[in-house]
Structure 1
Amino acid sequence: MDDMSSANLTRQETAARSAAVNVHEIRVELDLRDAQNPEQRGFSTTTTLAFDSSESTTWIDFIGESVDHVIVNDIEVPIEYDGARITVRGLAASNTAVIGATGVYSRSGEGLHRFVDPVDGETYLYTQYEPADSRRVMACFEQPDMKASYTFVVHAPSGWQVLSNQRVAKAEEADGVQTVELAPTLPLSSYITAVAAGPYHRVDGTWSRADQEVALGVLCRASLAPHLEADEIIEITRQGLDFFTDAFAFAYPWGKYDQIFVPEYNLGAMENPGLVTFTEAYIPRGAATDAQRGARANTILHEMAHMWFGDLVTMRWWDDLWLKESFADYMGSHASAAATRFTDAWERFAANRKAWAYQQDQLPTTHPIVADITDLEAAKLNFDGITYAKGAAVLKQLVAFVGAEAFFEGARRYFAAHAYGNTTLDDLLVQLEDASGRDVRAWSKAWLETSGVSTLWLETDSEGARMLVQSDPRPHRLRVGLYDLTDGRLVLHEQVELDITGERTPVALPDADLVLLNDEDLSYVKARLDDASLAAVRTALSTLPPLPRALVWSSLWNAARDGELPAAEYLEIVRRHAPAEENTGLLAGVLANAAYTIGHFVPAPQRDAERDAWLTATETAMDAAAPGSDAQLAWARAFATASAVSDAGTERVRALLDGEGPAGLPIDPQLRWSLIAASATTGNLSEDAIAKELENDDTAEGRTAALRALASRPTADVRSAAWDRAWSDHSLSNDHLDAIIAGVRAGARRDLIARFDDEYFAWIAGTWDSRSIEIARRLVLGLFPGTETTNAVDAWLAANAAAPAALRRLVIEQRDHLAREIRVRAAQ
């Protein structure tokens, strides 16, 4: 009953509840023995909650099929349930409530998700809760500041792995059913509890120090076991535990450390202590670049940082979501560079991760890092580029401001003072200020409590005097790199360290061919290149060291997005220098940005020519790359993507599918399905041919890819059927819905889907009310019309002023993206 208004908990009412209710222990019993039966829609869930209360009435959260009985202090009471809240009355100072209910297996990745592997027919279960979906599995107090010790008891088929946050305490088996009781947890918020069950493949390891030993586990579906790179995952895990244990001076507190890779996952990963969940996208079924493995390592370390930032010390409410996400995002890159072989983590962060922050921070819906989150719907949408990437970038500036040792000392004091508790911004600032002696509160007001991104550029007057100018002024500690063009290479001549605060700062900088503002990426700012620097970059970008190169790529992309660098010039620089880009993480971002530029920023009359030029560039670079190299694979993927919007690649696509590719290029499942999708999108692959491809790869990934290819065929009837199915077929899983949406949008064929624009605006309000927020969000974002004006969007916003704030936010953001595209194209 997702349309119940009571499902959207507010900050005010949850604060009142936690002031009145003190929860101690929660015991959850789940009956999953019939999970393999596809006709079994739901599961039995019984929760026993022990809590104190200063009020006679409160509510307990649950969303499911039904509430079957409620017992309060040994007395069965009438059920008062509105689809999201169970009201309990007659409470004493100390209470025990037992709630028996029926939950519903999920296909949207929210709550208890059920997946059947088409390879072997096996059933897999896992939970995903953040921010408020544990109530889909158990009755609970669904707010982060009501921590409790949880004990899970699970009835499941014999032979299954049964996992939760803690180790197995005892297990019994009879008549094909096992009953597993997990050990009680230390105090946890409901959203980071977790359960997984199924015939998962498992690889074990250990991590030990002189005074501590932690059991490690890496798990995935049995059919993916041949592709699981468990040894590397365990190595990264050990390196991370070494690093964080030393850096935080607080022993890993959660006993075991299992990491499970699960299907149809909505996130990259989730930091459930003792049972971290990851998307299966981190298990390549075929070829993978080292940059992909670096991204996986970063995510492993991001989630590991949460064992302290978020799990040990938790924000009181979602306003302070940044207290865990910004820190974890920073620590993922920091620990990758400091403790693993993936020493290029900050380069990838500078060029790719921060692009997400810059984009989000220029939307009309931007917000401070410390946000004003009034309810759960707002919290769900605040897992964004501000909370993650901007927060991490700003923390990098904080480290430059207070010094690394003071920063980590402040973190150590923070953990010691607030272990197993809940905090707000001020709790952290106290520790950082004491450790550093710096005015961290003023820094916080400038960086954490404001929104927007500054743009920084260099001006030189007629007499040669230089001035650093910034819009939306903020205090920056940064370095300016001065590079000389020598023998065709850009070489660092000097670095100048500066503190700037106001709009205009006079600077004495020697002459240089390239003046790189914010060298070393210490601050969060859009740094522009002056004309002379841009000329040097056009000549010799690829000769720069990796981090300066990443910063230049980032600067060029921001200038193109802002319409200051014409799209054609940006694309010409990419075609010239991307084939020489040695860092595949940077290359992948550049290739994606180039494709986006063609589709969104190039004016329509020039678009076909730019598409053909880009297709040729990707094919040429693919053929020229070293056989078997990461670059060859990256260019091949870019060629497949480009082939979906240009018929000129048809023959080469067919040749690649027939195995006639450049030496060393693996036509693995991912690349093959990308080529198939391209061929289907351009009308060169029939339904029967797609079905034959599926016969050869009848896996979960293959079925999803086939759905996309089928929906991509360029006929009005196919696109119309896909459009209707996306909105109306509630049996689609989250991944399958994404595939259908991608098919509708394939090939940028506005001529096939423009007629649906009015229907989109007729659908979205009802969809938001009737579907889960995860599914509704995908539909609202994925099917937003790519019109040539904002008139229809403006009309809907004007007519729907009372629509839910979270829905309006999504539409407003999409309108802003559209308006930027129109503005940038017009500026060409």
Structure 2
Amino acid sequence: MIKFLFLTFLMLSIGSTLHAQANQAADPGAGVPRELARWRAAHYSNVRYSLSLELTPGAQMLKGMMEIRVTLSEGADKIVLDWRVAPVKEGQMKPRVWDIALNGTKSDAREVNEHIIIAGAKRGENIVSLKFESPIATSGSAVTRYVDREDKSEYIYTLFVPSDASTAFPCFDQPDLKARFKFEARVPLKWTVISNASATQSWIIDGGDAHAWFDFHETEPISTYLFAFAAGPFVEIEDKTSAIPMRLFVRKSKEEKARQEAAEVFRLNRECLKFLAGYFDYKFPFPKYDLVIVPEFAYRGMEHAGATFLREESILFPTEPTANDFLSRANVIFHEAAHQWFGDLVTMRWFDDLWLKEGFAEFMSFKALEAIMPEFNAWKAFYERTKPAAYLTDATKGTTPIYQEIPNLSAAKSAYGNIVYRKAPSLLRQAEFYLGADKFQKAVQLFLKEHAYGNAEWGDLVKAFEKTSGQKLDAWAAAWVKRRGMPEVRARGALMLPAKDLVGVSLPQRNVLDEGGLWPMRLKVLVVFTDGTKQTETVLIQGEPDEDQTQSRIRVLLSRPKREIAYIFPNYEDYGYGRFLLDDRSRNYVLAHLGEEKDEFQRALLWGSLWDSVREAELPPLDYIELAIKNLGIERDEVTAQSILNRVSIAFNAYLNAEQQKEVAPRLEQMLSDGMLKSEKQGLRITYFRAFQAMAKTDEARGKLKEILTGKLSVPGLSLRPRDRFDIITALMTRGDADAITLLEAQSKSETTDDARRYAYAAGAARGTAENKQKYFDAFLNDTTLAESWIEASVNP
């Protein structure tokens, strides 16, 4: 019994620590090379880990022992485990593995190139047992410690994605060697442990040292990066109305706030799981689903099977929330829930298909939003919040294809970014429209059922698409997944055919990188007439190139009643992906009549297309700012207002010269101030308040910010929180305001919580001296106690 074995670990061990040995010709390279992973996947199966840990407050090292069961096929006579030891700095303890035994006999294992190689394995089941110690740190470690300065409580949590489990314990750290985990942990008496499976709990009195023992049930087959645990004096909040066992865990000092938000968090989670089970035609794939709110977590969320970890600020708002904040929270809850099917139930075979799980999770989060929170106009929000970052990256020479070759998992973290998280879901939105919603959904259902609790590749999903649609999709898939960049489509002047009452619309497509290659795409083309009537036509651009392989042209014939065309828009309802530009005639009309467009989604698309014209130097940035000053008041949707204000801030702060800024600043600041103080909706007032901080250029505007900070001026409905106060100081620091440093010092003395200290640290980074920038840069590189969340807050614009 592993608990009995673990107790023996507390006594003196017999045996020597594993030593590094010289390389042999057949030894695998460092990291997890693709060749090693393929060999192991072909020869290893039926993997099981039994893991027993001791978690001690303040300890530098995680102490544990484990038993690994693996079945070897013919042609394999060794077991190659991954074990990565990071460089150890002076004063730190070195990770180690010892007492390695194979099938009950002490093994002469070798440690080489971040692997443990155990010779003499037999065909069939083999059992490896070992003991290990690995680091626990406040930053830069797969096992992280957080000490809450408000009550001195300590919390420990893991983050193993993409291949960091092997820095915590030896394992086969590749996604296509799924395993069942049996886990138990010895912790202080008042601690709770959360992991992928449910647990029984017992208390043991051992020589006066009271401690708790958590013994977890064995998991379903999961990849090593999806195994996780969190431990500490968490407060547990249970959803007693859910058909799926569901709990929320939060640190003690945030209990009151979490209880205020728990009902809505549970509602969103319940409704999302119900929607996804229906859409996928597959019940929730794990026995329970816990949400663990983790302070200073590196990501917004991480989809560990049955136990999602969420960044605290993603769930418990640090400022007065707007519609955008509520949308962001729903998005991360829905995204991580979708991963339980796409990523956990079915996992990509290798991280070159990382985009597949991330793209589907984000796409399905907006499908869920559409069903659960229709007031947010999900696909308008998708256009405004998800696509801009993808377009920003994809228009540059530094972009990559969605599919990225990863020869070694040591490089897997480089695959994360806007293309994976933003372009991939945009491709799936186009794929659904291209194939048809029913055929797309049936293919997804087929894919999940065929590969449940296993691994799959993008090609497997393409086969499912082909099966349900009856189409051959090789060329379509290759264009979107293997080609970098994006198309540019511009609806060019109408060809009038009065005898037939027809109008011909030309839709040339080109690669924005001028690298050749085009994209097959289905679009809705919108023609708007001057009397306000509209006409749409669905068209298929097959991506057939002209002679120089750089453009594709298609002409669409539309019925043309005897009316004058106002403008033509090539991507109505935003099913396409790319840069969709207005021709000169259409752009001039839209500039003059933007406020007359009643369709909020279409108006948002026009704002975006005009912004593309700014970035393509077809529209002066000052004209866009003037358009916003004139028309932004009609936008009652907070998501749209923030999207436009973000663009205005870029145009004002980055695109205008000093003289232009000086000329337009008073009118721009007045518009923002009016929105901040006079908008009917509280969320809009807060949205304008945040934008006012970003664009407060004049002495008068900065004075108004100081009045808000001191309480002399208030924004109706806004209760200033510590984050707001430090954000104001950051804005003043960025502008070089003479009072900023004094204000920061005073605020830092009055606000001393963990969160406030992080805000203060980030605000200090805005001080614009070379010495200050060097100080922060040195800390980023050398201070091992500096949490990643502090660094992230300091480098954000």
Matched, 1:711 2:765: yes
Matched, 1:468 2:507: yes
Pairwise CA distance, 1:518: 0.8
Equivalent runs, 1:613-628 vs 2, <5 Å: 614-626=668-680
Letter in 2 for 1:157: P
Distance in 2, Cα, partners of 1:42 & 1:386: 37
**Aligned pair in 2 of structure 1 residues 72, 648: CA closer, same or farther (>3 Å)?**
farther
Pairwise CA distance, 1:316: 0.8
Distance in 1, Cα, partners of 2:598 & 2:569: 11
Aligned to 1:563: 617
Distance in 2, Cα, partners of 1:372 & 1:416: 27
Distance in 2, Cα, partners of 1:478 & 1:462: 20
**Larger Rg belongs to:** 2
Pairwise CA distance, 1:131: 0.7
> Retained in 2: the 8 A contact 1:72–1:95?
yes
- Aligned-pair identity (%): 27
Matched, 1:494 2:517: no
> Retained in 2: the 8 A contact 1:294–1:342?
no
Letter in 1 for 2:155: Y
Could you say what the CA RMSD is over the residues aligned between the two structures, in angstroms?
2.5
> Retained in 2: the 8 A contact 1:348–1:550?
no
Pairwise CA distance, 1:434: 1.5
| Farther off after superposition, 445-454 or 142-151 | 445-454
- For residue 708 of structure 2, the aligned residue among 656, 664, 672 is 656
Pairwise CA distance, 1:221: 2.0
The Cα offsets for residues 559-582 of structure 1, whole Å up to 9 and x where unpaired, read as 323333322222222333334322
Distance in 2, Cα, partners of 1:235 & 1:367: 38
Distance in 2, Cα, partners of 1:343 & 1:606: 36
- For residue 22 of structure 1, the aligned residue among 41, 45, 49 is 45
Letter in 1 for 2:215: E
Aligned to 1:135: 166
Distance in 2, Cα, partners of 1:717 & 1:423: 51
Pairwise CA distance, 1:646: 5.4
Pairwise CA distance, 1:693: 1.8
**Aligned pair in 2 of structure 1 residues 375, 573: CA closer, same or farther (>3 Å)?**
farther
**Aligned pair in 2 of structure 1 residues 595, 10: CA closer, same or farther (>3 Å)?**
farther
Aligned to 1:401: 434
Matched, 1:298 2:337: no
Distance in 2, Cα, partners of 1:382 & 1:726: 22
Matched, 1:431 2:431: no
Distance in 1, Cα, partners of 2:336 & 2:62: 29
Pairwise CA distance, 1:688: 5.9
Matched, 1:60 2:81: yes
Matched, 1:508 2:557: yes
Distance in 1, Cα, partners of 2:537 & 2:50: 59
The Cα offsets for residues 390-415 of structure 1, whole Å up to 9 and x where unpaired, read as 22112112111222111111111112
Pairwise CA distance, 1:189: 0.4
Equivalent runs, 1:225-236 vs 2, <5 Å: 225-228=255-258, 229-236=261-268
TM-score by length of 1: 0.83
Aligned to 1:195: 229
**Aligned pair in 2 of structure 1 residues 253, 724: CA closer, same or farther (>3 Å)?**
closer
Aligned to 2:296: 264
Distance in 2, Cα, partners of 1:611 & 1:379: 45
Distance in 1, Cα, partners of 2:539 & 2:495: 23
> Retained in 2: the 8 A contact 1:241–1:252?
yes
> Retained in 1: the 8 A contact 2:729–2:740?
no
Aligned to 1:316: 349
Pairwise CA distance, 1:294: 1.4
Distance in 2, Cα, partners of 1:119 & 1:169: 30
**Aligned pair in 2 of structure 1 residues 535, 654: CA closer, same or farther (>3 Å)?**
same
**Aligned pair in 2 of structure 1 residues 156, 688: CA closer, same or farther (>3 Å)?**
farther
Pairwise CA distance, 1:420: 0.8
- For residue 368 of structure 1, the aligned residue among 401, 408, 432 is 401
**Aligned pair in 2 of structure 1 residues 647, 158: CA closer, same or farther (>3 Å)?**
farther
TM-score by length of 2: 0.86
Matched, 1:44 2:63: yes
> Retained in 2: the 8 A contact 1:360–1:384?
no
The Cα offsets for residues 647-684 of structure 1, whole Å up to 9 and x where unpaired, read as 55331111001112233232222222111222344243
Equivalent runs, 1:484-633 vs 2, <5 Å: 484=529, 491=532, 493-501=534-542, 502=544, 503-509=552-558, 510=560, 511-542=564-595, 543-603=597-657, 606-607=660-661, 609=663, 614-626=668-680, 629-633=682-686
Distance in 1, Cα, partners of 2:607 & 2:31: 42
Matched, 1:75 2:114: no
- For residue 675 of structure 1, the aligned residue among 705, 728, 751 is 728
Equivalent runs, 1:171-186 vs 2, <5 Å: 171-174=202-205, 175-186=209-220
Letter in 1 for 2:787: S
Pairwise CA distance, 1:595: 2.0
> Retained in 1: the 8 A contact 2:761–2:790?
yes
The Cα offsets for residues 491-518 of structure 1, whole Å up to 9 and x where unpaired, read as 5522222122241112234443232221
User: Secondary structure of the equivalent of 2:66?
Assistant: strand
Distance in 2, Cα, partners of 1:740 & 1:298: 24
Distance in 2, Cα, partners of 1:117 & 1:519: 50
**Aligned pair in 2 of structure 1 residues 691, 18: CA closer, same or farther (>3 Å)?**
same
The Cα offsets for residues 181-225 of structure 1, whole Å up to 9 and x where unpaired, read as 1110000000111101112222211465xxxx3111122222223
Distance in 2, Cα, partners of 1:333 & 1:109: 32
Distance in 1, Cα, partners of 2:324 & 2:649: 19
| Farther off after superposition, 457-466 or 591-600 | 457-466
**Aligned pair in 2 of structure 1 residues 714, 302: CA closer, same or farther (>3 Å)?**
closer
Letter in 1 for 2:509: Q
Q: Which runs of 5+ in 2 are unaligned?
A: 1-22, 86-93, 498-503, 512-517, 545-551
User: Secondary structure of the equivalent of 1:120?
Assistant: coil
Aligned to 1:239: 271
Matched, 1:86 2:138: no
Letter in 2 for 1:226: E
User: Secondary structure of the equivalent of 2:507?
Assistant: strand
> Retained in 2: the 8 A contact 1:476–1:500?
yes
| Farther off after superposition, 110-119 or 542-551 | 542-551
Letter in 2 for 1:47: M
| Farther off after superposition, 57-66 or 191-200 | 57-66
Pairwise CA distance, 1:256: 0.6
Matched, 1:31 2:54: yes
Pairwise CA distance, 1:342: 4.9
Aligned to 2:791: 737
Distance in 2, Cα, partners of 1:714 & 1:414: 53
Distance in 2, Cα, partners of 1:445 & 1:362: 19
User: Secondary structure of the equivalent of 2:161?
Assistant: coil
Matched, 1:481 2:526: yes
The Cα offsets for residues 667-712 of structure 1, whole Å up to 9 and x where unpaired, read as 2222221112223442434656434323433222200111122333
> Retained in 2: the 8 A contact 1:61–1:86?
yes
Aligned to 1:153: 184
Aligned to 2:424: 391
Letter in 2 for 1:577: N
Letter in 1 for 2:611: W
Letter in 2 for 1:144: P
Pairwise CA distance, 1:262: 1.1
User: Secondary structure of the equivalent of 1:508?
Assistant: strand
- For residue 337 of structure 1, the aligned residue among 358, 370, 387 is 370
